[in-house]
Amino acid sequence: MSTTTLTPTELHARPTDSTLVLDVRAPGEFASGHVPGAVNVPAEHLDELLPDLRDAAERRRIVVVCAAGSRSAAACAKLADAGVEAVGLAGGTQAWTADGRPVDTVERAGRGVWAMDRQVRFAAGSLVLAGLALGRRAPKGRLLAAGIASGLVYSGLSNTCGMAAMLGKLPFNRPEPGALDAARAALRA
């Protein structure tokens, strides 16, 4: 394959009947805004749908999308190891929206959803404040704030996010019952 990513403009120009957009973010992230027509298969569930992804790749070009591009690159590598040809969307949905492209949203169980980066900012900020407040009574409480700060620095340097991985396991970030069956049906269409 000559390219490993497409730009938002290149993806937008591709015919939808020959392209399958596979969004590998958590369901909450997907619901908050995704490329129109995308199928949500969270990265941790790719193995379960490999046979369907192989079949889909024979009929359509698979373009893998995440928020900024790092998870989709990892998913493309995982798919390539399994013999499934796929490319990523350079810059993910952030680049898609920055390019002025529309996104679809989904309401999940009657509640609003937050994008994963917003969840991480809220959790990290809350834990830092808790550590600082606790540190007023017990100085060792400040270690919580220091630990979170260290994790954020590591996240920035490594372009990974352990907190996002942990938050992704919470119930509101997991696929709803039947969601993977719906994704399987969409892959077979």
Which residues of the chain fall short of a pLDDT of 70?
1-3, 108-113
Report the half-sphere exposure of 103 (CA within 13 A, side-chain side).
22
Confidence (pLDDT) at 1: 40
Contacts 24+ apart (CB under 8 A), 142-145: none
Q: Which residue has the tokens 């969840």?
A: 119
- Start-to-end CA distance of the chain, whole Å, equals 24
Q: What is the dihedral of CA 189, 176, 48, 168, to 10 degrees?
A: 130
CATH topology of domain 5-112+176-188: Oxidized Rhodanese; domain 1 (3.40.250)
CATH 3.40.250.10 residue spans of the chain: 5-112+176-188
Predicted confidence at residue 109, as pLDDT, reads: 57
User: What stretches of the chain adopt beta strand conformation (E)?
Assistant: 5-6, 19-23, 39-40, 61-65, 86-89
Alpha-carbon gap, residue 2 to 68, rounded angstroms: 21
Alpha-carbon span 79 to 99, nearest angstrom: 27
Instruction: Return all residues near 153 (Cβ < 8 A) that are at least 6 apart.
Output: none
In whole angstroms, what is the distance from residue 17 CA to residue 3 CA?
Answer: 20
Q: Which residues sit opposite 40 in a β-bridge?
A: 23
pLDDT score, position 2: 42
Please identify which residue in the block is written with the tokens 């704030």.
145
pLDDT of residue 24: 95
Return the half-sphere exposure (C-beta side, CA atoms, 13 A cut-off) of residue 179: 19
How much is the pLDDT for 103? 94
Strands lying side by side in the sheet with 5-6:
5-6, 86-89, 61-65, 19-23, 39-40
Rg (CA), the chain: 18
